[in-house]
Amino acid sequence: MKAFKVIYKHGHFIDVETRQRLIPVQGAEYIISAADKAFKTEDAKMKIGDTLNSKDKASWAEGEFGKGNSAVIMTAGEK
């Protein structure tokens, strides 16, 4: 296991000693520790709402884009 001393600046982790960017690998697990005030839990950009069923989703699309301006491209559960 490696340990790095970094600062978070402009959306990047920068190694304090080497001044190089530390790039996290997708899907890896990390243990991050810092002072209590170094973290926020509210994210203004990530909004998670309730899941809509097909009927409610169709109603939402009609209200958002107007009648006839949306189409079903995949049934729920399909990949």
- Provide the residue ranges of all domains of the chain, joining segments of one domain with +: 50-79
**5 and 15 Cβ atoms separated by less than 8 Å:** yes
Output the CA angle 61-76-71, nearest 5 degrees. 35
Tell me the per-residue pLDDT of 47-78, one tens digit each, with 9 for 90 and over. 777 888 888 888 999 999 999 898 888 887 77
Average pLDDT score over residue span 38-46: 83
Residue 71: predicted pLDDT: 87
Nearest to 13 by CA among 4, 61, 60: 4
Give CA–CA dist 17/65, Å, rounded.
52
Tell me the per-residue pLDDT of 5-36, one tens digit each, with 9 for 90 and over. 999 999 999 999 999 999 999 999 999 999 98
